[in-house]
Amino acid sequence: MIHEDFFDLKALSGSLGSNFSKTAENKTIKMTDIKIVRVGKCHPYTFSFKMSYSRENYKKVVVNNKRKTISAAAQLDLQPAYS
């Protein structure tokens, strides 16, 4: 991996939406308790996570976004994390 492979996730999260603290079951989570994050290309406004390495199942977070269209996901501008 090289420096161009890393992107600024804070800038990306601001352009995606606003819900990063509630699961699909409407339970509050702390981002500092998350151990593993899984992101899928086929579901652009969701991500899955585990709070423990020993758990079998992932929990899902649906990010609130006002513009839930495929074209909006294609227009994301990824900023490099390092210059």
C-alpha distance from residue 27 to each of 16, 30, 71 (Å): 20, 10, 30
Tell me, yes or no, whether 80 lies in a domain: no
Top-confidence residue, 49 or 15 = 49
- Taking the whole predicted model, whether its pTM rises above 0.85 is answered as no
Residue ranges making up the domain that contains 53: 3-74
Q: What is the pLDDT of residues 4-28, one digit of tens each?
A: 788 877 776 666 666 667 777 888 8
- Count of domains for the chain: 1
Report yes or no on 17 lying in a domain.
yes
Identify whether 47 is part of a domain.
yes
Check pLDDT > 50 for residue 76. Answer: yes
